[in-house]
Structure 1
Amino acid sequence: MKKMTQNDNFIYLTCSLILLLLGMALAQQFFDASVQRLMQSATVVTLLVAVWGVRDEQFIFRKGLIFPLAIILTSLVSYYLDNLDLNYAHLFLLLIFFIITAVKTAKQVIFTGEIDGNKILGAICLYILMGLIWALLYTLVHLASLQAFNGMPDSQLWYEILPDFVYFSFVTLTTLGFGDISPAMPITRFLVYFEAIVGQFYLAILVASLVGSKISNSSQKQLNKTREANHE
């Protein structure tokens, strides 16, 4: 089986994140809300493997059944924290993990070697991570004040409201703004319009620059090959 490296890790991560977002929607549509714990745990383990473990040839999660076992373990830890009424601690730790993962992803995308297709996919992964980070922020604010958002259920269970905030976060990040969920407090309005600003500047500056650099590098390589062929 081909090992994942820094040359292809974001290909796997992009597919995994898309499937996990789909899984989150399917879990909300067809299963009990507590299944979201499993989806959250799958996300954590996927990020550990694709972002944190890509440099380490002996990374523990590469070993066969360790992957599903790790998902089950993190789900149990999540369940334990929730039963201790530690929703805030759990979500805060998850938020810190996602932020550190986003920073590590950005370093791999921007500061390592020449731009290739894998790094452009890494920029897409970073965009998805940004949406998930804001979804966690919205969830924390909602748990602190049920009046923070219009159109949300009055639930204190994070796994019931997180899928809705994931949806709302990506609608905001892409500036679609359907209006079914809306901020109702100054702090949540700030978070919402700031996410929209960051999302637009991210696409306009970073992703466009990466794609431009990739095209420029490809053109330069082709030009060098043409010159070498003409000299022979």
Structure 2
Amino acid sequence: MTLPSAWLRWLVTARRHPSAFLLLVQLGGVLLYPAMEDTQAGRALFGAFGILVLALALWVVNRSASINWIAWCIAVPAVVLSLLSVWAQMPGLLVYAHLLEGALYFYTAASLTAYMLQDHRVTRDELYAAGATFTLLAWAFAFAYSVCQQWYPGSFIAAINPQDPRTWMELLFLSFSVLSSVGLSDIVPVRPEARALVMFESFAGVMYIALVVSRLIGLTTLRTARRDDGPH
């Protein structure tokens, strides 16, 4: 296969399954984040990686029935504030960047959910969208926890260095633990504002499984049953 044809095939696949690329990048971030938090260069890379994820989120929203200009109105100032907080040494802007990024992630997750619920047959892209929506919700609540921690210091404690602010990786770990209802996190919300966010995420995780995942499983099972009951 020649390089142009391979590139063309990659573009066709990306156009058909944008949710898959968003999911892969999000999961890749889980592996990269621990190396990004300890140095200034790593934090700059973290900001660049966040911009990449925001761009992919906009791409995914463009495939759904949501209103694109809303996503752009959230994403553009989020990118500007994120860049200023890292490159212009203005850390006070980071909380507002996280606030906007969290809002965009929630908006994209809602758009993907609407995309999955509007169809009556399960496609491969909808299966990718199910995974991407879960990671988007986990990141969105992690941003919400970050904002909560900056506005209300001492919102979260942990077994290690309990009085220190929790790192991004710790907040993301808490978010995944709460959203999946596994309860394995050692990060504990102690302020009322933090506990309210954790309760909202617990509710969102349960409802996501009940409404979205169970529907996709039901449609897949129904299609299989209809195929088996067809003419022999």
Which consecutive residues of structure 2, in runs of 5 or more, have no partner in the other structure? 1-7, 65-77
8 Å Cα contact 1:174-1:199 kept in structure 2: yes
| Partner residue in 1 for 2:47 | 37
**What do residues 106-130 of structure 1 show as CA deviations (whole Å, max 9, x unaligned)?**
1221114522232122112111111
8 Å Cα contact 1:116-1:214 kept in structure 2: no
**What do residues 75-114 of structure 1 show as CA deviations (whole Å, max 9, x unaligned)?**
7752314544322321222122112211221122111452
Q: CA RMSD in A?
A: 3.1
Residues 147-162 of structure 1: pairs in structure 2 closer than 5 A: 147-151=154-158, 154-155=164-165, 161-162=167-168
Alignment-mate amino acid for residue 27 of structure 2: I
Alignment-mate amino acid for residue 198 of structure 2: V
Distance 2:156 2:177 in 1: 15
Residue 20 of structure 2 corresponds to residue 11 of structure 1: yes
Residue 132 of structure 2 corresponds to residue 125 of structure 1: yes
Residue 118 of structure 2 corresponds to residue 111 of structure 1: yes
Residue 65 of structure 2 corresponds to residue 89 of structure 1: no
| Partner residue in 2 for 1:138 | 145
Instruction: Tell me the TM-score normalised to structure 2 length.
Output: 0.75
8 Å Cα contact 1:172-1:195 kept in structure 2: yes
Of 91-100 and 22-31, deviating more is 22-31
The 1:222/1:162 distance shift into structure 2, 3 A limit, reads: same
How many corresponding residue pairs? 206
Distance 1:93 1:26 in 2: 24
Residue 229 of structure 2 aligns to a residue in which SS?
Answer: helix
Q: CA deviation at 1:153?
A: 6.1
Residue 86 of structure 1 aligns to a residue in which SS?
Answer: helix
The correspondence for 1:177, drawn from 183, 203, 222, is 183
